[in-house]
Amino acid sequence: MNKRYEDLEELMSTGEAREVKRAMAVRMSLLGFVRAEAALAYCVSVQFVDKWKAIYLASGVEGLKLAYKGSPGYLKPRERENVINWIQEKKTITIEELKRYLKEEYDVFYSSNTSYTKLLEEANLSYKKTHKENSAKDEVKVEAKKKEIKDLIDKEREQIESGEVMYWMQDESHQLWGDICGYVWSKKGERTSIKMSNYRTSQTWYGAVNIYTGEFILDRAKKADTKYTIDFINWLIYRYKEARHVIIWDGASYHRSEGLRTYLEKLNGGLPESEWKVRLLRFAPNAPEQNPVEDIWLQGKNWVRKNFHRLSSFKEVTSMFETFLSGKVFKFNKIKQYLIPNI
């Protein structure tokens, strides 16, 4: 066997994983296989095969070995363009994945993560939190429901502007002692603990945001059920006696209960729908992200987490949550999208 092939065999037996991959791809190419076949066999690109074959032919097997010192820590313009294209083909990517790709394909290794971040930004990617999404969500139903709500709002534009009709997006939240736990900067090797007497202690909140003014109202409840839902509606009516109200919420069972229907029939007293004191609309199913109140709850909980060091009881937790959210004005894009043209 050719000596060069023996060298490759030895590296394939003794080398590190990346060295082995290079040696196998080069050996397959030298044996007469098409570049694409070698690339497919070892899950690499054709450029990878060409690059390491050329290095092997020029420098022998030593050129295939890992050599962090003295290796060029940069990409040539054409290589950078190829990397950007590779990144853009992916829906998501991690810095570690990008590091492996650059090292295996171009033998480039940056000492700072900033260099990798710049490549990701150049490929028009941004760092963001992942979000859960219900697989049963129907985008067609979501868009249809948005249109239905927008059409109703547009129809009652004058009454909304005058305050005769108030449109509310409503939701409930269950706050737990454990919700105070989050991420903080603290000394390495030391555990940061928060003392709590009963981490299962909880508080239920009813909240609603006015889609015209952005005003957020908040009310405490022992739990989320038909009784407390009716109590919240009564409180809303009492607070804004002169207005008629449209409440938009999800399809929770207590939003659809027989007790709630009986209450509404009595409240609206046989009046035509356009004169009802309270009307109810539901968001499309399995798509909680439609409701801006979800974002408001998150803001309140994050505020409490940031100030955990000031809290020593669950009563203080709920008080801080309530103080932060009560009376605030929120004008999210999730609200503005229903105002066509924007009010």
- Cα(106)–Cα(83) distance, rounded to whole angstroms? 10
What pTM was computed for the model?
A: 0.59
139-337 CATH pick, 3.40.50.300, 3.30.2320.80, 1.10.10.60, 3.30.420.10: 3.30.420.10
pLDDT of residue 38: 83
- The pLDDT of residue 133: 57
Can you give the pLDDT at residue 70?
37
Q: What is the reported pLDDT for 113?
A: 74
Quick one: pLDDT at residue 216?
A: 95
CA angle, corner 279, sides to 273 and 285, nearest 5?
125
Q: Residue 171, SS3?
A: strand
Kindly give the confidence (pLDDT) of every residue in the chain, 343 residues in length, as a single tens digit, with 9 standing for 90 and above: 444 567 788 888 888 888 888 888 888 888 888 888 888 888 888 888 888 888 888 777 778 887 644 344 578 888 889 899 999 888 888 888 888 888 778 878 776 677 888 899 898 887 765 655 555 678 888 889 889 999 999 999 999 999 999 999 999 998 887 666 654 454 555 655 555 555 557 899 999 999 999 999 999 999 999 999 999 999 999 999 999 999 999 999 999 999 999 999 999 998 998 899 999 999 988 777 888 999 999 899 888 888 877 777 888 889 999 999 988 888 777 777 776 555 5
- H-state helical runs in the chain: 3-14, 17-30, 35-41, 46-59, 77-88, 95-106, 113-122, 139-155, 157-162, 226-239, 258-268, 293-306, 314-325, 333-336
**SS3 call for 275:** helix
pLDDT at 277: 96
Tell the residue number behind the tokens 């534009």, with chain if given: 157
Query: Is 266 in a helix, a strand, or coil?
Result: helix
Q: Would you say 252 and 246 are in contact if contact means Cβ atoms under 8 Å apart?
A: no
Contact 286, 136 (CB under 8 A): yes
